[in-house]
Amino acid sequence: MKRHLLLIALLALMLCSFTLLQAQLQTVTIGNGTEIQYFPFNAYYGYGRSLGLYTQEQIPLFGKITRLGWQVASSSSVTVPYKIYIKTTTERDLTKVTWAQFTSGATLAAQGSYTFSSQGWHELLLTTPFVYTGGNLLIGVETNYGGSGGGDYCPKFYYSTGDVKSHQSWQKDGSAPTGGGFVHRWLPNVRLKIAPAENNPILSVYPMAHNFGNTVVNCTYRKTITIGNSGNGNLTVSSLTPSSSGCFSVEAGFVFPFILPAGNTVNFTIKYTPTSVGNHSASFTVTSSLGGEEPKTVTVSGSAQDVTISTLPWTEDFSSETFPPPNWARYKGWYPTQSLIPVTVEWGRHNFANISDPANPAACITVCDISTRYWLVSPPISIPAGGDYQLDFDLALTTVTLPDPVPPDNQQSYRFIVLTSDQPYMENATVLREWNNTGSPYVFNNIATYGEHLTFSLDGYTGTRFFAFYAESTVAERAVSVYVDNVCVREVPASITPEALDFGTVMINSTSPAMNVTVTNTSSSILNLSAADISISGPNAADFAFSEVNLPASLATGQSVVIPVTVTGSTEGDISATLRIVCQGLGYDVALSAQVSAQSAVYVGNGTLYNSGVHYPAVYGGYYRNAREQYIVTAAELTAAGAQAGLFNSIGFDVVSPNNCGNLPNFTISLGTTAAEEFVDDVFLTELTEMYSVAGYTPVAGWNIHAFTSPFYWDGSSNLVIQASFDMQATYSQNASTYHTATDPAFRTLYYRSDGAAWNTATTGIRSLDRPNMSFVFRLPIDGAPAAPLLSSPADGSTGLSKRGFELVWAADYDNGGLPDHYQLYLSTDAANIEGGYSWTTTSTRFNPVLADPTFSFSYSQQYFWTVKAVNNHGSSTAAAPRSFVIESDPTIYSYPWSENFDSVSAGSIPQRWTVIATQNYGNSIPGWTATPNVGCCSEPHAAVAYASYPAPKNEWMITVPFSMQAGQTYNISFMVIAPRRGPAAEAFAVYRGAEPTVDAMTANPALFESNQTSFDDWTRVTFSFTPPSTGSYYFGWHAYSPTDLNPIVIDDISISETKAADLAVVSLDSGLFNKVGTAFSQTVKVENSLIHI
């Protein structure tokens, strides 16, 4: 009976203990990833092995692990034979090992066969539970399906992306794998069931010992110690003593005593701050209130050395094959949320910017996935107080395998940071610069592919400093490589200002004015600088240059030297380069940039005064009905404004207000050059070329830009003449107000304005000291052979051109070729052999063969073909597309008598091929002599009229076509005239003869007839004779030259006849001219022999 009672009591006690343990069972789940793989139970191969590393931070409980579970993604009917091994480690990363090396010392926690027949979590009971009291946990799963495995229908499991080296796997068909595994980061999701290790509370401390290893004096190192209750029930932790011992001290965030429930843990930190070189150790004891429980003693030790770098400058170029270099360290940990953990991976040694020829080793890290968080930290460096120091290094970013730029729209989560701290684990670090793709002014993707040199001031940082290079990514994207090289800490040897030179817009193939870089010695020693210390690199290095005029230089502290830099752009667009100045081994970079343009704007004049709506000078001067203005701009002014010898494409004037300025008819701008620097008198300059003309122009507020029809070439040394003009408006308006600048004491403006006389009849004007502000757009000519010229006049296929000659006109094609030195003009009657005909060389773009070559003359009614080539020292252009023209038919009068009564001529015109040389416009577009009705013509309806003139005298010519006349033959010339006197002054006119229809040819001989004192109040016939001295062609010209403001002179019924033996003319009739119709009457007619001969 007693035995039965004892058995019942034992069973009751066991049931109570089981119930209590079950009540304390806790679950830890690690990983929530949804990617799929065959591991850890890999039966796809005949033999699979899986080893996962789970950190103590992921397992916050102490106790006995009784079950392990894995999350099935794809279920299977395949039964998988397995073994489960467990052990702990202090390592944070897996290294490549054999499966046998892992299982050695591991606990075989369970083995058997299992079918993962459904999705979700499947938990396996550990037949040998594993007591876990701290450390990182290694869980290994061995599967031995055999042969070539279970095929595609084997189960698959979810995994998470862990640390880079958190999972190792093996797989093989036919036999178990014996070699090292594949280390990666595809860590299976796992679930741990943790129960108390015993029914009573158990004091557990992890780790019980820690060696801080080799450390640096005067720096602080920390180790986290975990106190846990690995048993059941509540554990009272009584004390932790001592609070400090030598170089060691305790940092705890709790107060003793405190209670730890079953499985729970707390952490405290032992801090090691060695102040002297050598070995150090201490012990710290944790006690609990459990009777008979032994206190737990934690022993710590460390060795301190002084590896602080105190001799500056200090440089690390990573040339040694040992990596990391001595006293450098590698860590991992998210910045700024995680404490750093030493690692031996990620940062390594590779050629800078992936360029292997020549070899240039650098520190390198690959950034590519969701958990890159790796640090490279320098040795401790002592920064003296009272100095000026800096950190500098080279930085590059490329794709992993090639020296190529990274994709510009990728790597959004990537960042690179340079930091400094006074502690080796970068506690309380200060960011010197961060590159990222999420808003930083320093864009990660823009880190230079081939490298850039960076400098950071260490102003404010003294004492022992560590410098760290940190790379991070949180999203798996394109793998890229970051390179760091030539890390240097030094006293700042020099100040280089500015950090960048922007030359702005510069002309292509033209050397810019110099911009200066100033080098100042800021160190305590002599700074020697020579031309060998200065270089220019980059994509457009050949376009920039520095001057050695101030080199070499030996600079004491505080002294400076100036380095002039220029740019000569060879291609259009933005160009850049880097000027590097090496001072005491340190390279300083100055960014160089310019925008090279084929054209540039220059401005002459910056005055802020302007004309009113009624005052002159005025470019757009509508207050008078027509006007003309000329401005002189000196070569010195143009050069000072930035112009160079080249091609002017446009001119502009700055209008303050258009006021009510009207539409200016035939608004024209002409340009030319002159030796004069001012208008010394009131005479307008001549020989200008029309560059711009529109039928009408209305100015607007702001810059009014007038683009030339073709560029105007300025030689860089001549003074420029600009003329603006417009023809008669129907009525006056107002002047536009235009900004001008005073040019006193030089008169550089000359203007004329009138309501009556046309501007092109005035040779003088009014001088002014006010010249409008102007803008010019110019460009340099192309450096090369010229292009084929552009033929402009006469139009192709023109007919009826004058035999006496005319200008052949063309223009240089500056847009497609170089600047011509001269031209070769070809003229022929044979279209197939134009260059085999006549040929002339000229520097002008206008050429009249008849005037230029006395041996040449055109033939009446002949068709001619012509072309032009442009030539310079680079060669000759191709010939311009040829044009043709036809000379007029012979207008010469060969038969007599001949007469002209102007009746068949259109009003406002003159007979065909007659010449009018007009000096007045009279405000009504009537040029000189014209055929006009309604003037009481001698024979209706038309007569030739030279109108009254104002304010200038008449000076009008009307010249006939040529007459073929024989030497010795006398010719009678007769015409009717009416020219009534107005006041005391008489009209004046004369008749001349000449060999050409020009004023010079006419006035080369005495007048055949002249009247300057007689009035012709009624129609009067004038008759005179002319005997040619030689056989040939003769022109006859009527010249009206009366004083100003008189009546018109009217000519009608001109006749020319050969004189006969008797040449009778009716002198008088003895009765009236009229009688009744049908009535006979008689007359006595008196005639007279008008010949000189009897």
How far is Cα 977 from Cα 1048, in angstroms, rounded to an integer? Answer: 11
Tell me the average pLDDT of the chain.
Answer: 90
The predicted pLDDT at position 601 comes to: 85
The predicted pLDDT at position 13 comes to: 37
Among 818-832, 855-869, 943-957, where is mean pLDDT lowest?
A: 943-957
Closest CA to 484 of 474, 471, 465, 466: 471
CB 826 within 8 A of CB 868: yes
The predicted pLDDT at position 952 comes to: 66
The predicted pLDDT at position 935 comes to: 72
At 212-242, the pLDDT tens digits run 999 999 999 999 999 999 999 999 999 999 9
Within 8 A by CB and 6+ apart from 322, the residues are none
Q: Read off the pLDDT band of 10 (50, 70, 90).
A: very low
Kindly report the length of the chain: 1094
How far is Cα 9 from Cα 3, in angstroms, rounded to an integer? Answer: 10
Within 8 A by CB and 6+ apart from 600, the residues are 505, 506, 507, 642, 777, 778, 779
The predicted pLDDT at position 1087 comes to: 66
CB 622 within 8 A of CB 727: no
Classify domain 314-491 at the CATH class level: mainly beta
Whether pLDDT at 1046 is above 80 = no
Whether pLDDT at 984 is above 50 = yes
Which whole number is the average pLDDT over 877-885?
97
Check residue 683 and report its DSSP letter: B
Share of the chain above pLDDT 70, in %: 93
- Report the 10 Å Cβ neighbour count for 795: 10
CATH number of 203-305: 2.60.40.10
Single-letter amino acid code for the residue at 651: I
Whether pLDDT at 1071 is above 70 = no
Query: Would you say the CATH fold of 790-887 matches that of 599-779?
Result: no
At 364-413, the pLDDT tens digits run 999 988 778 999 999 999 999 888 899 999 999 999 999 999 999 889 99
How far is Cα 351 from Cα 394, in angstroms, rounded to an integer? Answer: 12
Q: Read off the pLDDT band of 1094 (50, 70, 90).
A: very low
Pairing of strands 500-507, 586-597: parallel
Bond into 325 cis (ω within 30): no
Closest CA to 812 of 865, 866, 869, 852: 869
At 155-195, the pLDDT tens digits run 999 999 887 789 999 999 999 999 999 999 899 999 999 99
Check residue 690 and report its DSSP letter: E
The predicted pLDDT at position 5 comes to: 36
Share of the chain above pLDDT 90, in %: 76
Phi/psi for 751 (5° steps) reads -135, 155
Residue 199 region by backbone torsions, left for phi larger than 0, else alpha for psi between -120 and 50, else beta:
alpha
DSSP for 185-199, written as a single string:
SEEEPEEEEEE-SSS
How far is Cα 648 from Cα 670, in angstroms, rounded to an integer? Answer: 12
Q: Read off the pLDDT band of 797 (50, 70, 90).
A: very high
The predicted pLDDT at position 1061 comes to: 64
Among 220-229, 1018-1027, 1067-1076, where is mean pLDDT lowest?
A: 1067-1076
Coil, helix or strand at residue 57: helix
Q: How many CA atoms lie within 13 A of 1092 on its CB side?
A: 9
Q: Which two tokens stand for residue 616?
A: 């002159």
Does the domain at 20-195 match CATH 2.60.120? Answer given as: yes
CATH number of 599-779: 2.60.120
Does the domain at 790-887 match CATH 1.20.1600.10? Answer given as: no
Residue 744 region by backbone torsions, left for phi larger than 0, else alpha for psi between -120 and 50, else beta:
beta
Within 8 A by CB and 6+ apart from 278, the residues are 303, 304
The predicted pLDDT at position 921 comes to: 47
The predicted pLDDT at position 588 comes to: 87
Which whole number is the average pLDDT over 304-309?
94
Query: Sign of the C-alpha dihedral, residues 254, 256, 257, 260?
Result: positive
User: Considering all CA atoms of the chain, what is the largest pairwise distance in Å, rounded to the nearest integer?
Assistant: 199
Q: Which two tokens stand for residue 517?
A: 């870089």
Whether pLDDT at 4 is above 50 = no
Q: Read off the pLDDT band of 12 (50, 70, 90).
A: very low
- Report the 10 Å Cβ neighbour count for 970: 17
Phi/psi for 479 (5° steps) reads -70, 130
| Bridge partner residues of 141 (DSSP) | 50, 84
Closest CA to 1031 of 972, 968, 970: 968
The predicted pLDDT at position 1067 comes to: 57
Pairing of strands 702-714, 956-959: unpaired
CB 608 within 8 A of CB 710: no
- Report the 10 Å Cβ neighbour count for 103: 17
Pairing of strands 209-216, 296-305: parallel
Which whole number is the average pLDDT over 87-94?
91
The predicted pLDDT at position 377 comes to: 97
At 567-585, the pLDDT tens digits run 999 888 999 999 999 988 7
Whether pLDDT at 44 is above 90 = yes
Whether pLDDT at 1092 is above 80 = no
Check residue 804 and report its DSSP letter: T
The predicted pLDDT at position 927 comes to: 60
Q: Cα(first)–Cα(last) distance of the chain, in Å? A: 198
CB 690 within 8 A of CB 721: no
CB 1074 within 8 A of CB 1083: no
Q: Which two tokens stand for residue 854?
A: 């006395």
Bond into 498 cis (ω within 30): yes
Closest CA to 143 of 121, 112, 117: 112
The predicted pLDDT at position 1074 comes to: 53
Domain ranges within the chain, ordered by starting residue: 20-195, 203-305, 314-491, 496-597, 599-779, 790-887, 898-1062
The whole-model pTM stands at 0.49
Residue 902 region by backbone torsions, left for phi larger than 0, else alpha for psi between -120 and 50, else beta:
left
Closest CA to 740 of 596, 608, 604, 547: 608
- Report the 10 Å Cβ neighbour count for 1051: 24
Q: Read off the pLDDT band of 121 (50, 70, 90).
A: very high
Q: 496-597 architecture in CATH?
A: Sandwich (2.60)
- Report the 10 Å Cβ neighbour count for 1033: 16
Q: 898-1062 architecture in CATH?
A: Sandwich (2.60)
The predicted pLDDT at position 1076 comes to: 58
Check residue 985 and report its DSSP letter: B
Within 8 A by CB and 6+ apart from 910, the residues are 916, 929, 930, 931, 944, 958
Q: Read off the pLDDT band of 949 (50, 70, 90).
A: low
Whether pLDDT at 1080 is above 90 = no
How far is Cα 62 from Cα 228, in angstroms, rounded to an integer? Answer: 6
The predicted pLDDT at position 292 comes to: 62
* Residue 97 to residues 25, 37, 101, 108, Cα–Cα distance (Å): 34, 21, 6, 18
Q: Read off the pLDDT band of 21 (50, 70, 90).
A: very low
SS (H, E, C) 1013-1040: CCCEEEEEEEEEEECCCCCEEEEEEEEE
Closest CA to 956 of 1034, 1020, 1051: 1051
Give the residue, 952 or 836, on which the prediction is more confident: 836
| Bridge partner residues of 673 (DSSP) | 720
Which whole number is the average pLDDT over 95-115?
96
How far is Cα 68 from Cα 85, in angstroms, rounded to an integer? Answer: 11
Angle at 156 between CA 160 and CA 187, to 5 degrees: 25
The predicted pLDDT at position 937 comes to: 65
Is residue 808 classed exposed, middle or buried when 0-12, 13-18 and 19+ CB atoms within 10 A define those classes?
buried
Whether pLDDT at 19 is above 60 = no
Among 97-101, 608-612, 775-779, 860-864, where is mean pLDDT lowest?
A: 775-779
Rg (CA), the chain: 54
